[in-house]
Amino acid sequence: MAGKDTTASRPALISLRLSDIEFDSTSSSCRLQASLRHIPQAIPTVTQQALQVLELAQPLLVVAQEGGGEQRYRLIGGHRTFQLLLEQEPRSRRTWAILLTNADALTLSRHAAFDAVVSKLLQRPDGKDLAIIAAAVQENKILRSDVSSLLPVATDNELAAALGISRTTLHRQTEAVKNTSAKLQDEHKPKEKINLDDFNLDEEA
Protein backbone atom coordinates (compact mmCIF):
# COMPACT_ATOMS: atom_id res chain seq x y z
CA MET A 1 0.00 0.00 0.00
CA ALA A 2 1.39 3.35 -1.00
CA GLY A 3 2.30 5.77 1.76
CA LYS A 4 0.07 8.73 2.51
CA ASP A 5 0.86 11.85 0.47
CA THR A 6 1.88 14.56 2.92
CA THR A 7 2.93 17.14 0.32
CA ALA A 8 -0.13 19.29 0.96
CA SER A 9 0.71 19.55 4.68
CA ARG A 10 4.27 20.79 4.18
CA PRO A 11 5.00 24.45 4.94
CA ALA A 12 5.54 26.56 1.84
CA LEU A 13 7.57 29.73 1.28
CA ILE A 14 5.34 32.35 -0.32
CA SER A 15 5.55 36.00 -1.32
CA LEU A 16 2.69 38.27 -0.24
CA ARG A 17 1.92 41.92 0.47
CA LEU A 18 1.94 43.23 4.02
CA SER A 19 -1.63 44.36 3.39
CA ASP A 20 -2.62 40.72 2.80
CA ILE A 21 -1.84 39.86 6.44
CA GLU A 22 -4.26 40.09 9.36
CA PHE A 23 -3.66 39.38 13.02
CA ASP A 24 -5.84 39.00 16.09
CA SER A 25 -4.78 41.73 18.51
CA THR A 26 -7.09 40.27 21.19
CA SER A 27 -5.39 36.85 21.28
CA SER A 28 -3.52 35.94 24.46
CA SER A 29 -0.17 35.61 22.66
CA CYS A 30 -0.56 38.98 20.95
CA ARG A 31 -1.51 40.72 24.22
CA LEU A 32 1.47 39.13 25.94
CA GLN A 33 3.92 40.28 23.28
CA ALA A 34 2.46 43.78 23.30
CA SER A 35 3.43 44.06 26.96
CA LEU A 36 7.07 43.09 26.33
CA ARG A 37 9.94 45.39 25.53
CA HIS A 38 10.56 43.34 22.36
CA ILE A 39 7.37 44.52 20.70
CA PRO A 40 6.51 48.13 21.67
CA GLN A 41 8.19 51.36 20.67
CA ALA A 42 11.35 50.46 22.62
CA ILE A 43 12.57 48.27 19.73
CA PRO A 44 15.65 49.91 18.17
CA THR A 45 15.20 51.19 14.64
CA VAL A 46 16.88 48.84 12.18
CA THR A 47 18.20 49.49 8.68
CA GLN A 48 16.79 48.25 5.39
CA GLN A 49 19.55 45.63 5.27
CA ALA A 50 18.49 44.38 8.70
CA LEU A 51 14.87 44.06 7.57
CA GLN A 52 15.98 41.84 4.68
CA VAL A 53 17.93 39.62 7.08
CA LEU A 54 15.09 39.62 9.62
CA GLU A 55 12.56 38.37 7.05
CA LEU A 56 14.61 35.17 6.69
CA ALA A 57 16.08 34.87 10.20
CA GLN A 58 12.72 35.37 11.95
CA PRO A 59 10.15 34.77 9.20
CA LEU A 60 6.46 35.45 9.29
CA LEU A 61 4.27 32.39 9.84
CA VAL A 62 0.82 32.59 8.29
CA VAL A 63 -2.23 30.50 7.49
CA ALA A 64 -4.64 31.12 4.64
CA GLN A 65 -7.95 32.69 5.62
CA GLU A 66 -11.07 30.98 4.41
CA GLY A 67 -13.57 32.92 2.34
CA GLY A 68 -14.09 34.34 -1.11
CA GLY A 69 -12.55 37.36 -2.71
CA GLU A 70 -8.90 38.33 -2.50
CA GLN A 71 -6.69 35.87 -0.65
CA ARG A 72 -5.95 36.91 2.93
CA TYR A 73 -3.60 35.42 5.53
CA ARG A 74 -3.63 35.33 9.33
CA LEU A 75 -0.37 35.96 11.20
CA ILE A 76 0.58 33.09 13.53
CA GLY A 77 4.23 33.86 14.27
CA GLY A 78 6.83 36.52 13.57
CA HIS A 79 4.99 39.41 15.25
CA ARG A 80 8.19 41.37 15.88
CA THR A 81 9.26 41.06 12.24
CA PHE A 82 5.79 42.10 11.10
CA GLN A 83 5.80 45.15 13.37
CA LEU A 84 9.21 46.35 12.17
CA LEU A 85 8.18 45.90 8.54
CA LEU A 86 4.99 47.90 9.09
CA GLU A 87 6.92 50.70 10.82
CA GLN A 88 9.27 51.26 7.90
CA GLU A 89 7.62 49.89 4.78
CA PRO A 90 4.42 50.68 2.84
CA ARG A 91 1.57 48.21 3.15
CA SER A 92 1.99 47.36 -0.54
CA ARG A 93 5.52 46.04 0.11
CA ARG A 94 5.95 42.35 -0.63
CA THR A 95 7.62 40.07 1.89
CA TRP A 96 8.42 36.41 2.38
CA ALA A 97 6.35 34.28 4.71
CA ILE A 98 6.05 30.61 5.61
CA LEU A 99 2.56 29.32 4.86
CA LEU A 100 1.36 26.60 7.23
CA THR A 101 -0.94 24.27 5.33
CA ASN A 102 -3.47 21.86 6.80
CA ALA A 103 -2.38 22.79 10.33
CA ASP A 104 -4.85 21.90 13.09
CA ALA A 105 -5.76 24.18 15.99
CA LEU A 106 -3.19 22.58 18.33
CA THR A 107 -0.35 23.09 15.84
CA LEU A 108 -1.27 26.74 15.33
CA SER A 109 -1.55 27.25 19.09
CA ARG A 110 1.93 25.81 19.61
CA HIS A 111 3.41 28.04 16.91
CA ALA A 112 1.84 31.08 18.58
CA ALA A 113 3.17 29.97 21.98
CA PHE A 114 6.67 29.52 20.58
CA ASP A 115 6.61 33.01 19.05
CA ALA A 116 5.27 34.67 22.19
CA VAL A 117 7.16 32.80 24.92
CA VAL A 118 9.66 30.12 23.92
CA SER A 119 11.63 32.25 21.45
CA LYS A 120 11.99 34.95 24.13
CA LEU A 121 13.22 32.44 26.71
CA LEU A 122 15.71 30.94 24.27
CA GLN A 123 17.16 34.39 23.53
CA ARG A 124 17.02 36.26 26.80
CA PRO A 125 20.31 38.07 27.41
CA ASP A 126 20.66 39.14 31.01
CA GLY A 127 22.64 42.18 32.15
CA LYS A 128 25.95 40.30 32.01
CA ASP A 129 25.25 39.02 28.51
CA LEU A 130 24.43 42.53 27.33
CA ALA A 131 27.69 43.81 28.82
CA ILE A 132 29.68 41.08 27.03
CA ILE A 133 27.95 41.90 23.74
CA ALA A 134 28.64 45.62 24.23
CA ALA A 135 32.31 45.04 25.05
CA ALA A 136 32.74 42.83 21.99
CA VAL A 137 31.17 45.49 19.76
CA GLN A 138 33.42 48.18 21.22
CA GLU A 139 36.62 46.18 20.82
CA ASN A 140 36.03 44.54 17.44
CA LYS A 141 35.93 47.15 14.64
CA ILE A 142 34.78 44.66 12.01
CA LEU A 143 31.97 43.39 14.23
CA ARG A 144 30.92 46.95 15.04
CA SER A 145 30.87 47.85 11.35
CA ASP A 146 28.76 44.81 10.52
CA VAL A 147 26.30 45.48 13.34
CA SER A 148 26.17 49.19 12.48
CA SER A 149 24.96 48.31 8.98
CA LEU A 150 21.94 46.66 10.61
CA LEU A 151 21.40 48.63 13.82
CA PRO A 152 22.62 52.09 14.92
CA VAL A 153 25.57 51.33 17.22
CA ALA A 154 28.32 53.41 15.62
CA THR A 155 28.71 55.52 18.78
CA ASP A 156 28.59 54.48 22.42
CA ASN A 157 25.46 56.61 22.88
CA GLU A 158 23.72 54.62 20.13
CA LEU A 159 25.04 51.35 21.55
CA ALA A 160 23.67 52.19 25.00
CA ALA A 161 20.29 53.13 23.48
CA ALA A 162 20.15 49.86 21.54
CA LEU A 163 20.80 47.92 24.76
CA GLY A 164 18.27 49.97 26.73
CA ILE A 165 20.81 51.27 29.25
CA SER A 166 22.45 54.61 30.03
CA ARG A 167 25.88 55.63 28.74
CA THR A 168 27.19 55.54 32.32
CA THR A 169 25.89 52.00 32.86
CA LEU A 170 27.36 50.95 29.52
CA HIS A 171 30.80 52.24 30.50
CA ARG A 172 30.68 50.65 33.95
CA GLN A 173 29.56 47.26 32.69
CA THR A 174 31.91 47.04 29.71
CA GLU A 175 34.87 48.08 31.86
CA ALA A 176 34.01 45.27 34.27
CA VAL A 177 33.91 42.79 31.37
CA LYS A 178 37.25 44.02 29.98
CA ASN A 179 38.91 43.86 33.41
CA THR A 180 37.64 40.33 33.99
CA SER A 181 38.79 39.25 30.53
CA ALA A 182 42.25 40.75 31.08
CA LYS A 183 42.54 39.03 34.46
CA LEU A 184 41.62 35.65 32.98
CA GLN A 185 44.10 36.05 30.15
CA ASP A 186 46.83 36.97 32.63
CA GLU A 187 46.07 33.93 34.79
CA HIS A 188 46.31 31.60 31.79
CA LYS A 189 49.59 32.94 30.41
CA PRO A 190 52.24 30.22 30.07
CA LYS A 191 54.57 30.36 33.05
CA GLU A 192 57.67 29.62 30.94
CA LYS A 193 58.37 30.57 27.37
CA ILE A 194 60.15 28.11 25.10
CA ASN A 195 62.88 29.44 22.86
CA LEU A 196 63.03 27.40 19.66
CA ASP A 197 66.63 28.51 19.20
CA ASP A 198 67.52 26.13 22.03
CA PHE A 199 66.68 23.22 19.76
CA ASN A 200 69.08 22.21 17.00
CA LEU A 201 66.78 20.56 14.49
CA ASP A 202 69.69 19.68 12.21
CA GLU A 203 71.57 17.82 14.92
CA GLU A 204 71.34 14.07 14.66
CA ALA A 205 70.36 12.12 17.70
Please report, for the chain, the start and end positions of each structural domain, with discontinuous segments joined by +.
9-122, 127-187
**Quick check: helix, strand or coil at residue 149?**
coil
The pLDDT value given to residue 36: 64
95 has a pLDDT exceeding 90 = yes
Tell me the mean pLDDT in the region 177-189: 79
124 vs 154 pLDDT, higher one: 154
The pLDDT value given to residue 188: 67
98 has a pLDDT exceeding 70 = yes
**Quick check: helix, strand or coil at residue 113?**
helix
The pLDDT value given to residue 189: 67
What whole-number distance in Å separates Cα of residue 43 and Cα of residue 37? 7
Nearest one of 126, 125, 153, 158 to 140, comparing CA atoms: 153
Q: Which of 93-102, 113-122, 168-177 has the lowest mean pLDDT?
A: 113-122
10 has a pLDDT exceeding 80 = yes
Tell me the mean pLDDT in the region 72-96: 92
CA–CA distances in Å: residue 182 to residues 90, 136, 156, 185, 188: 48, 13, 21, 5, 10
143 has a pLDDT exceeding 80 = yes
Tell me the mean pLDDT in the region 14-29: 88
Q: Which of 65-69, 78-82, 149-153 has the lowest mean pLDDT?
A: 65-69
The pLDDT value given to residue 49: 92
Task: For residue 181, name the pLDDT band (cuts at 50, 70, 90).
Answer: confident
Q: Which of 71-75, 106-110, 121-125 has the lowest mean pLDDT?
A: 121-125
Contacts of 139 (CB under 8 A, 6+ apart): 178
Q: What is the pTM of this model?
A: 0.71
Instruction: Report the chain's mean pLDDT, rounded to a whole number.
Output: 82
Tell me the mean pLDDT in the region 24-30: 77
Helix (H) or strand (E) holding 185: helix 167-187
Fold of 9-122: 3.90.1530
